[in-house]
A and B are shown apart, each in its own frame.
Chain A
Amino acid sequence: MIRPDAELLLEINDLHASVEDKPILNGVTLHLKAGEIHAVMGRNGSGKSTLSKVLAGHPAYRVTSGSVRYLGRDLLELEPEERSRLGIFLGFQYPIEIPGVSNLEFLRVSTNARRQNKGQGELDTFDFDDHVRERLQVVQMDPAFLERSVNEGFSGGEKKRNEILQMALLDPVVAILDETDSGLDIDALRIVAGGVNQLASPDNCTLLITHYQRLLDEIIPDYVHVMAAGRILRTGGSELALELEKTGYDWVDQQLAAEGVG
């Protein structure tokens, strides 16, 4: 939902970042306002996933220049855990398995860290149990998954549901979803997309990172950005995704070649 007077939540300006001294992001500029859903599309290696990792603060990525402001703060100054507590959420493309750590306990500690930051009280095990069971419905997840170790032995679809469950619990201001649709069959995709739609509100914004149009059939973006060679090459409305579906990314190569980049 685009509103001219909406608050600017996340402001990425000319962001450059590298991994092991190899530049991956080469000047990304992106402004996200409250109520908006943005999609970043692009081929493998275009820098989409790197963008999401940098925003979440992954230690392997080094920001070389540019800035990211989040609600008036310098986001890049913050530790990953501080970003989460302040309302930045990254839904992982490949959620990590953590053997031995109970999913329920993990979700509770995580939720309480965020709640504390919002000035809400911590939930004890009983209150949290009620809370999480209610939130499970957002992704129609079986409560049995709460009793297992974090993501351990979960199928691809179950892992993605667990990610959206975390999003539902953490109530983020900026939700970045990295290839949330990958590895999902069409039913699971609908459930996960339904969860994301349900959680989108006039007060938060969503950044979808995806290869394919099919997720965007379920979650209609306000803006579509095409990323290539570490920057945003083109921005349009949801129709841009449909155009890409038809024409593919060949024009990207042509444009990059014309600029002498590709």
Chain B
Amino acid sequence: MTSTSTRDLVSQPYKYGFVTDIETDKIAKGLSEEVVRLISSKKNEPEFLLNFRLKAYRHWLKLREPNWAELGYNEINYQDIVYYAAPKQQDKKKSLDEVDPKLLETFEKLGIPLSEQKRLSNVAVDAVFDSVSIATTYKEKLAEHGVVFCSFSEAVVEHPELIEKYLGSVVPSNDNYFAALNSAVFSDGSFVFIPKGVECPMELSTYFRINSGDTGQFERTLIVAEEGASVSYLEGCTAPMFDTNQLHAAVVELVVLDDASIKYSTVQNWYAGDENGIGGIYNFVTKRGQCRGVRSRISWTQVETGSAITWKYPSCVLQGADSVGEFYSVALTNNRQQADTGTKMVHIGPRTRSTIVSKGISAGQSSNSYRGLVQVGPNAKGARNYSQCDSMLIGDQAAANTYPYIRSQQPQSAIEHEASTCRMSEDQLFYLQSRGIGFEEAVSMMVSGFCRDVFNQLPMEFAAEADKLLALKLEGSVG
């Protein structure tokens, strides 16, 4: 290509790469039983939670970091990470007026205004900065409906019985290496409880921001939908640009009872490192939902565009009869990014159904793998799965892999898998350009066309944003 050519545009600056200059209460680097106790005591946690952490920590010591994913990265030094960092401020903020204006400004810059006048009208937001939640909007309005939406730390104080009942019930503290680590040192996150029969009146959203350079973020999200309840929840994430790698190891647990549903959407835009692969977030996340009740439903939608490393398999355990699991994913990698992501659909109950639609886009020298498991147990008579995995390659140095695992112990079940790979061609781009459509817009049109099935699943407010985000990420990567 001529002037709109490749590399000068690749270095499109990461819009969210700024650092907020704020005084932080940080503990010393390193991980030990003392650190686990210190985190727990900083948060005045009840006994059961400290025990949960300690058990996880002791188990973690016995585990080894998994290496089966299609990922290559430098060894993580777990003693070189700060496990707790919080902006210094008054202990408890009664209202937003008391939140440090610098923090409010930060979130406003990220496009998440929190103040009464500017906040999004139809979305309640929990804003998490490094290790703590700094504000949650619309809490009172939601409370009128019996909906609990607050930071995890607050939930521990105000609803300890719910936390004790559900924490670790979907992802046990010994589930895997990163889940165990998270269980030991998690700092904050969001808690959502939708009581029986309630349809949550607005979108809920948590926005995660890593600010400190040497801090890991270990957030914990727990969402419970009781019988007949429903909620749509979205998480967003960004981080400043540092030339070191930061670790993000989150755990998300969803519990869905009879006839209830949770729609969980993610727009992940952690800093991805520069074009040479320097810096960026290591994103090791365990997300799992359990359809415990009959006719319950969990739908995961993810748009993964950031992080140097993504290791993430949002899963559904379909326990209740006739329960439904869905996974819609767009994973985009550029430059030196690596993603190994997919889902697990575990069919336990009869007539359980699952749908997997995965769209991987690899540009630059990146590597993008879909890894998914469809498992049908002996009691899942009449279970059905449909999987579709499409990859789009941009340029000639990117890699796309698909690893579908299928295990069925039930002859009366149906599993379908379709996969395709295509390349965005110079001729397609030229065709659009020769019709007056600029190069960047042509790329973006083709990518959003490729991802349409997934974007259609996003809450309306965010679908357009996801479209723009992808276009931005790909600028100049073709040609």
Query: What total of chain A residues lie within 8 Å of the partner, measured CB to CB?
Result: 31
Give 1 or 0 for each of A73-108: 1 = CB within 8 Å of chain B CB. 000000111011100001010011111111001100
Interface flag for B4 (CB, 8 Å) = yes
Which residues of B lie under 8 Å from residue A114 when comparing CB positions? 436
Please give the distance in Å from A49's CB to the nearest CB on chain B.
13
Compute how far the CA of A6 lies from the CA of B438 in the bound complex, rounded to whole angstroms: 32
Which residues of A lie under 8 Å from residue B449 when comparing CB positions? 98-102, 149
Q: B446 and A79: CB pair below 8 A?
A: no
Q: How large is the interface on B (under 10, 10 to 19, 20 to 34, 35 or more residues)?
A: 20 to 34
Please give the distance in Å from B332's CB to the nearest CB on chain A.
15
Q: B445 and A79: CB pair below 8 A?
A: no
Partner of A110, one of B3, B436, B439, B452: B436
Which chain B residue has the least Cβ–Cβ distance from A90?
Answer: B434
Q: B452 and A100: CB pair below 8 A?
A: yes
Q: A96 and B441: CB pair below 8 A?
A: no
Please give the distance in Å from A148's CB to the nearest CB on chain B.
12
Interface flag for B164 (CB, 8 Å) = no
Compute how far the CA of A244 lies from the CA of B246 in the bound complex, rounded to whole angstroms: 72
Interface flag for A60 (CB, 8 Å) = yes
Known: A59-B426, A106-B432. A81 touches B446 (CB 8 A): no
Compute how far the CA of A170 lies from the CA of B437 in the bound complex, rounded to whole angstroms: 12
Compute how far the CA of A114 lies from the CA of B452 in the bound complex, rounded to whole angstroms: 26
Please give the distance in Å from B128's CB to the nearest CB on chain A.
35
Partner of B1, one of A59, A85, A92, A99: A59
Known: A79-B4, A83-B434, A113-B437. A101 touches B445 (CB 8 A): yes
Which residues of B lie under 8 Å from residue A60 when comparing CB positions? 426
Give 1 or 0 for each of B427-470: 1 = CB within 8 Å of chain A CB. 11011111111110110011011111000000000000000000
Query: Which one of A56, A60, A95, A109 has the highest number of Cβ atoms from chain B below 10 Å of its Cβ?
Result: A109
Q: B433 and A81: CB pair below 8 A?
A: yes
Which residues of A lie under 8 Å from residue B438 when comparing CB positions? 79, 81, 113
Compute how far the CA of A102 lies from the CA of B445 in the bound complex, rounded to whole angstroms: 9
Which chain A residue has the least Cβ–Cβ distance from B4?
Answer: A79
Interface flag for B77 (CB, 8 Å) = no
Q: A170 and B445: CB pair below 8 A?
A: no
Which chain A residue has the least Cβ–Cβ distance from B447?
Answer: A100
Which chain A residue has the least Cβ–Cβ distance from B452?
Answer: A100
Which chain B residue has the least Cβ–Cβ distance from A110?
Answer: B435
B residues with a Cβ closer than 8 A to A are 1-4, 422, 425-428, 430-439, 441-442, 445-446, 448-452, 479
Q: Give me 17 A-to-B residue pairs in the complex whose CB atoms sit less than 8 angstroms apart, sorted by A's number.
A: A58-B434, A60-B426, A80-B430, A81-B436, A84-B434, A96-B428, A96-B431, A98-B431, A98-B432, A98-B446, A99-B450, A100-B449, A100-B450, A109-B445, A113-B438, A114-B436, A170-B436
